[in-house]
């Protein structure tokens, strides 16, 4: 059976499942092949392809009449985990405000958690925190555990921390750079995050103190850049990409948010902010991947205001399906990054 399964490649890593150590069990009894595959992430975007390929290969084995495929998942980390118990830290940045970065970050975190991954969400936008409200926990307060570490708040199947849960609503935070650096360090290292597959970090706009503090404090798995299609947003997004590259942080991909609008009454599509800007941006940086295009949808805004991200509140809406696909694509990119040490697929064996 293993010989047959060695002909099945992981579609992203381009190496066979056996040599990658992804086959946990492969047994045949009474004409039934019982196979367990441990994926590189529970959010594998090509799970159906792997199942079909494994089934086809197993049915080619003499005596096998049917195939049962079970999936597990083992998310990998870098050689040295960025934080104790935290396998991957992914920052979501934009270069400018108003492009829906926090909405994208919160929905990506919830979508990943929905696949069974263990997910944390850190609101690093200290001056303008919005994650607490988007997660429906604006009045909750952060407490300390027995070890005097900050206890993340739990909501929607994940854990999160936000300055919005430490400060009274509407109160301005007037801090200089060193205080920001200290706060980010505490959120990262003095919090009881526990075991996480992914820690998603919602960055503030720009390329300033918080971004520098993060890149200097921990080894980041990579960055996701959120932009809208118009040129003024792309200019700032390009600055964010340049900053991450200078800091040796891999750019995992670009998300084009508010990419288009579909009128609910006519079904006509309108490119309110233009369209395809992210593709131009990706090409200007040597062909960065586009993780997805998210349509402009009033439900996304309404759901954020209501404290329940759209991928949970309206999972079948076009925007939610697009956001979920972005999360799966992101998980696939992270798997390639952690398996190979780069964003290039493994060479063919």
The alpha helices in 15-67, defined as continuous H runs, are 47-59
Query: Any binding-site annotation on 47?
Result: no
Nearest to 319 by CA among 111, 118, 116: 111
149 is in an annotated binding site: no
Residue 97 annotated as binding site: yes
Query: In whole angstroms, what is the distance from residue 257 CA to residue 54 CA?
Result: 36
Q: What is the rounded CA–CA span in Å between residue 127 and residue 266?
A: 40
The pair of structure tokens assigned to 2 is 């293993």
300 and 291 Cβ atoms separated by less than 8 Å: no
Instruction: Determine if residue 116 is labeled as part of a ligand binding site.
Output: no
| Burial (Cβ within 10 Å: 0-12, 13-18, ≥19) of residue 159 | buried
C-alpha–C-alpha distance, residues 331 and 342, integer Å:
14
- Is 96 annotated as a binding-site member? yes
Helices (H) and strands (E) in the chain, counts: 11, 15
Q: Binding residue per annotation — 246?
A: no
Residue 136 annotated as lining a ligand binding site: no
Cα separation, 206 vs 191, whole angstroms: 25
Binding site listing for ATP: 95-102
Binding site listing: 95-102
């Amino acid at each position: 059976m293993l010989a047959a399964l060695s002909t099945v490649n992981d579609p992203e890593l381009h190496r066979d499942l056996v040599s990658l150590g992804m086959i946990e069990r492969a047994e045949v009894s009474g004409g039934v092949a019982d196979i367990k595959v441990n994926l590189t992430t529970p959010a594998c975007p090509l799970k159906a392809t792997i199942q079909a390929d494994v089934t086809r290969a197993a049915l080619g084995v003499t005596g096998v009449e049917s195939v049962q495929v079970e999936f597990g998942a083992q998310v990998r980390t870098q050689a040295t985990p960025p934080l104790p118990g935290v396998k991957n830290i992914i920052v979501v940045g934009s270069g400018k405000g108003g492009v829906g970065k926090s909405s994208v970050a919160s929905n990506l975190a919830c979508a990943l958690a929905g696949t069974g991954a263990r997910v944390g969400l850190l609101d690093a936008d200290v001056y303008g925190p919005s994650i607490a409200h988007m997660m429906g926990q604006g009045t909750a307060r952060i407490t300390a555990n027995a070890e005097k570490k900050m206890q993340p708040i739990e909501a929607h199947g994940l854990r999160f921390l936000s300055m919005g849960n430490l400060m009274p609503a509407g109160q301005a935070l007037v801090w200089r750079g060193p205080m920001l650096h200290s706060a980010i360090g505490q959120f990262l290292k003095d919090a009881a995050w526990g075991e996480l597959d992914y820690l998603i970090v919602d960055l503030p706009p720009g390329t300033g103190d918080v971004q520098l503090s993060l890149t200097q404090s921990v080894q980041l798995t990579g960055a996701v850049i959120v932009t809208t299609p118009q040129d003024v947003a792309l200019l700032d997004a390009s600055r964010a990409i340049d900053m991450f590259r200078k800091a040796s942080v891999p750019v995992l991909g670009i998300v084009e948010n508010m990419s288009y609008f579909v009128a609910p009454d006519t079904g006509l599509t309108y490119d309110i902010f233009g369209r395809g800007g992210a593709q131009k941006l990706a090409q200007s940086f040597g062909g960065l991947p586009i993780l997805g295009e998210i349509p402009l949808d009033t439900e996304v805004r309404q759901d954020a205001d209501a404290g329940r991200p759209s991928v949970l509140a309206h999972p079948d809406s076009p925007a939610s399906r697009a956001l979920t696909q972005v999360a799966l694509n992101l998980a696939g990119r992270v798997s390639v990054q952690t398996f190979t040490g780069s964003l290039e697929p493994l060479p063919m064996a």
